[in-house]
Chain A
Amino acid sequence: MTSSFHDWIVPHFNAWVYVIIMMTGLWAVIAKNNLIKKLIGLSLFQTSILLLYVSLGVKEGAGIPIIDHEAAALAMSGSDDALNPDRFANPLPHVLMLTAIVVGVATLGVALALCQTIYRDFGTLEEDEVLEQMKTLHDDV
């Protein structure tokens, strides 16, 4: 039990947590009745995917992917180790996820605007009440 904990849980803890958060978000999107709660679940799902990709760029013993003045001077003087890629986290997943965060907030804004329109038209944000009202509207027509 202890060895499996150390072999499987600790090294992959980011992986376990992003799967847990992703499934929590999926459950909220499917099972929650309130539209705002659904949107919170959607945002949780999104951040779990960001966590997956940023975790791919992590290296053991690496710092932030910025070359400081000291390392640049060392590199100028011919030292190879200053610009060794093992010393920096991989920045490619970071920039990709930067775009994903901004796009996610834009879509969240559109979704919240749609929620306000739904509230203005139906007077509620609960999904079952909205569906009920839509059904009676449809029956009247």
Chain B
Amino acid sequence: MIVPFDILILIFLVVAAVISLCVKDLLAATMVFGAYGFLICLLWATMGAVDVAFTEATVGAGVSTVLFVATILNTRRKSTD
């Protein structure tokens, strides 16, 4: 584990989590959530969990973002909070 890299990614992770919950546009929130998924994938790789990193990049960041975007296309993009 590379400690400065780890700390940097963890700080970005918290920022991405808060932004994805605070932004009012749901599509933007989903995209920031995808960025969060890729950041946490980098974190798994630094912690030596390469299998979890692969799965997170494909399933966590890829498929779940696609599912969110499909739902937003079928429903509404604006959110009140």
Contacts and interface: CB of A to CB of B under 8 A. Distances in A.
Interface of A: 10, 13-14, 17, 20-21, 24-25, 28, 32-34, 36-37, 39-41, 43-44, 47, 50-51, 54-55, 57-58, 60, 62-66, 88-89, 91, 93-95, 97-98, 101-102, 104-105, 108-109, 112, 115-116, 119, 124-126
Interface in B36-66: 36-37, 40, 43-44, 47-52, 55-56, 59-60, 63-64
Given A13-B7, A97-B52, A108-B64, A36 B74 contact: no
Contacts, number: 133
A36 B68 contact: yes
B79 to A, nearest CB: 4
Interface of B: 1, 3, 6-7, 10, 13-14, 17-18, 20-21, 26, 29-30, 33, 36-37, 40, 43-44, 47-52, 55-56, 59-60, 63-64, 67-68, 70-72, 74-76, 79-81
B3 to A, nearest CB: 8
Contacts of B30: 36, 40
A105 B64 CA distance: 6
A104 B59 CA distance: 10
Given A40-B33, A102-B59, A125-B75, A54 B17 contact: no
Nearest to A11: B3
A21 B33 CA distance: 13
Contact of B71 (A17, A95, A104, A116): A116
A117 to B, nearest CB: 10
Given A37-B29, A54-B49, 12 more contacts: A13-B6, A17-B13, A32-B21, A36-B29, A43-B64, A50-B52, A51-B43, A58-B47, A89-B49, A98-B55, A105-B60, A112-B70
